[in-house]
Structure 1
Amino acid sequence: MELKSVNAMSDVVAETITAEAHSPERILKRMLAVIREHMDMDVAFISEFTNGQRNFRYVDSPYPDQPVQEGGGNPLEDTYCQRVIDGRLPEFIPDASLNKEAQELPATAAVPVGAHLSVPIKLSDGSLYGTLCCFSFQPNTALDDRDLGMMRAFSVIAADQVERDAKQRQERNEITARINAALSSDAISMVYQPIYNVAKEALVGFESLARFSMIPVRTPDVWFKEASQVGLDVPLEIQVIKLALPLIERLPADCYLSVNMSPKLLLDAEVRSVLEEWPAEQIVIELTEHSIIERYEDIAEALEPLRARGVRLAVDDAGAGYASFRHILSLSPDIIKLDMSITRNIDTDHRRRALAVGLIAFAEATNTKIIAEGVETKAEMAMLRQLGVNKAQGYFLGKPMTAQQLKEYGF
Structure 2
Amino acid sequence: MSLSELLLDGVTSENKPYQASLSQMLAAIRRHLKMDVAFISEFSGGKRVFRQVDPQTPDNPVQPGAGDPLEESFCQRVVDGRLPELIPDAWLNPVAAALPPTHALPVGAHLSVPIQMQDGSIYGTFCCFNHGADNTLDQRDLSMMRVFADVAGELIERERRQTRRREEITSRLQAALHDDGLSVVYQPIYDLVQHKVVGFEALSRFIAVPERSPDVWFSEANEIGLGGELEARAVRMGLQGLTDLPADIYVSVNMSPEHILEGTIDQLFQGKSLHRVMLEITEHAVVEHYDELVRKIRPYRERGLKVAVDDAGAGYSSFRHILHLMPDRIKLDMSLTRNIDTDMSRRALAAAFSRFSEETGSAIVAEGVETAAEMHALQSLGVTRIQGFYIGRPLALPAAVQLCSGSADNGMGKLH
TM-score by length of 2: 0.87
Structure 2 matches for 1:5-404, cutoff 5 A? 11-15=6-10, 24-25=18-19, 27-61=21-55, 63=57, 66-108=60-102, 110-269=104-263, 271-404=265-398
Aligned partners of 2:128 and 2:308: how far apart in 1? 56
Aligned partners of 2:324 and 2:105: how far apart in 1? 57
Letter matched to residue 339 of structure 2: N
Aligned partners of 1:64 and 1:376: how far apart in 2? 68
1:216-245 alpha-carbon deviations (Å, 9 max, x no partner): 221111111111111111121111111111
Q: 1:306 to 1:183 in 2, by over 3 A?
A: same
Aligned partners of 1:373 and 1:396: how far apart in 2? 10
1:322-356 alpha-carbon deviations (Å, 9 max, x no partner): 22122222222222111111111111111212222
Q: Secondary structure at the match of 2:319?
A: helix
Q: 1:191 to 1:109 in 2, by over 3 A?
A: same
Q: Secondary structure at the match of 2:209?
A: coil
1:360-396 alpha-carbon deviations (Å, 9 max, x no partner): 3333322222211111111111111111211111111
Q: 1:201 to 1:214 in 2, by over 3 A?
A: same
1:26: how far off? 5.6
Q: Quick check: 290-299 or 335-344, which moved more? A: 290-299
Q: 1:183 to 1:9 in 2, by over 3 A?
A: closer
Aligned partners of 1:292 and 1:309: how far apart in 2? 27
Q: Please tell me whether the aligned partners of residues 376 and 396 of structure 1 are also in contact (alpha carbons under 8 angstroms).
A: yes
1:298: how far off? 2.7
Q: Please tell me whether the aligned partners of residues 191 and 209 of structure 1 are also in contact (alpha carbons under 8 angstroms).
A: yes
Q: 1:305 to 1:68 in 2, by over 3 A?
A: farther
Q: Secondary structure at the match of 1:290?
A: coil
Letter matched to residue 112 of structure 2: S
1:402: how far off? 0.6
Letter matched to residue 334 of structure 1: D
1:109: how far off? 5.1
Letter matched to residue 212 of structure 1: F
1:4-30 alpha-carbon deviations (Å, 9 max, x no partner): xxx9977414459x9997765565444
Q: What are the ranges of 5 or more consecutive residues in structure 1 without an aligned counterpart?
A: 1-6
Q: Quick check: 132-141 or 22-31, which moved more? A: 22-31
Letter matched to residue 58 of structure 1: Q
Q: Secondary structure at the match of 2:153?
A: helix
Aligned partners of 1:324 and 1:183: how far apart in 2? 29
Aligned partners of 1:71 and 1:311: how far apart in 2? 52
Aligned partners of 1:181 and 1:70: how far apart in 2? 37
Identity %: 50
Q: Secondary structure at the match of 2:240?
A: helix
Letter matched to residue 40 of structure 2: I
Q: Secondary structure at the match of 1:401?
A: coil
In the comparison of the two structures, how many residue pairs are matched? Answer: 404
Q: 1:238 to 1:93 in 2, by over 3 A?
A: same
Q: Please tell me whether the aligned partners of residues 36 and 129 of structure 2 are also in contact (alpha carbons under 8 angstroms).
A: yes
1:208: how far off? 0.3
1:310: how far off? 1.4
Q: Quick check: 208-217 or 287-296, which moved more? A: 287-296
Aligned partners of 1:125 and 1:237: how far apart in 2? 38
**1:4 matched to which residue of 2?**
none
Letter matched to residue 12 of structure 1: L
Q: What are the ranges of 5 or more consecutive residues in structure 2 without an aligned counterpart?
A: 406-416
1:71: how far off? 3.5
Q: 1:326 to 1:8 in 2, by over 3 A?
A: farther
**1:3 matched to which residue of 2?**
none
Q: Secondary structure at the match of 2:43?
A: strand
Letter matched to residue 86 of structure 2: F
Q: Please tell me whether the aligned partners of residues 254 and 279 of structure 2 are also in contact (alpha carbons under 8 angstroms).
A: yes
